[in-house]
Amino acid sequence: MSRRMWIPLGAVILVVNAVQWVVAEAITATAWTSPPYSYARNYISDLGVADCGTRFQGRDICSPDHALMNTSFMLEGILFATGVLLLARLVEGRARRVVIALAVAHGVGMVMVGLFHGSESGPSLGLALHVGGAGVGILCANTLAILAGSLRSLALPQAYRVFSVTVGALGVVSVALVGVSASMAGVFERGSVYSWMLWSVVTGALLLARYVSRPAVVENVSA
């Protein structure tokens, strides 16, 4: 695949991936009505739990459209990894290897999140794999955002580089705060997830705009 194909393709995949997650999450949350799903209190993972009428860590669980959310989890991992791997060709040397490793680890982690739901009703190993996959996915994606901001090879403005490092750092801080307040757990978790979603949209849109307006600059850029 030539540069004329993989740069815009990778950029579009990042944007589409973020959109599919937000849409799937909204649809699944809307279907959860007994009791109403709380974006502030409930974890995103609660939307993927298959058992309705259970209680986990003090939260009532009932997600009728859990299959949609689990599919979105896995699709996110695959699409995010694919988009980043395509765009990793903009990076050379050791940095490219790090980008590839982070993208693949994120993809594997998010597929695990979709395959093993986050509740105590299933095998204990399943819950451990879910939590572990989520942790890897969140940390790798936010680390990628921070790394992208430290590289000049994307040929994007200084403001983007500041944004990228900042949003990635906020994502890492947010995941560290998830356990601080039960009533705000969903807010902090979303801070750690929406950070890389926002980064994906901004990065994809800027790269696509740069490619459309100045394709030769993007194609000839080096690390």
**Does residue 157 form part of some domain?**
yes
**Does residue 206 form part of some domain?**
yes
Digit-coded pLDDT (tens) for 31-58: 999 889 999 999 999 999 988 877 888 7
Other CB atoms closer than 10 Å to residue 15's CB: what's the count?
Answer: 18
Determine the distance from the C-alpha atom of residue 175 to the mean position of all C-alpha atoms in its chain, rounded to a whole number: 13
- What one-character-per-residue DSSP string does 96-130 give? HHHHHHHHHHHHHHHHHHHHS-SSTTS-HHHHHHH
**Does residue 40 form part of some domain?**
yes
Report how many domains make up the chain: 1
**Does residue 55 form part of some domain?**
yes
In the chain, the amino acid numbered 59 is R
Alpha helix ranges (H) inside the chain: 3-31, 66-87, 93-115, 124-150, 158-176, 185-213, 215-220
Digit-coded pLDDT (tens) for 81-118: 999 999 998 888 899 999 999 999 999 999 999 999 87
Q: Using CA atoms, how far apart are residues 79 and 205, in angstroms rounded to an integer? A: 16
Give pTM, 2 decimals: 0.90
Digit-coded pLDDT (tens) for 187-202: 999 999 999 999 999 9
Q: Which residue has the tokens 């699409």?
A: 79
**Does residue 223 form part of some domain?**
no
Does residue 175 sit in helix, strand or coil? helix
| 127 within 8 A of 43, measured Cβ to Cβ | no
**Does residue 182 form part of some domain?**
yes
**Does residue 118 form part of some domain?**
yes
The residue segments making up the domain with residue 177 are: 3-217
**Does residue 222 form part of some domain?**
no
The helix (run of H) or strand (run of E) holding residue 41 is none
pLDDT at residue 222 is higher than 50: no
pLDDT at residue 155 is higher than 80: no
Determine the distance from the C-alpha atom of residue 131 to the mean position of all C-alpha atoms in its chain, rounded to a whole number: 15
Q: Using CA atoms, how far apart are residues 109 and 145, in angstroms rounded to an integer? A: 17
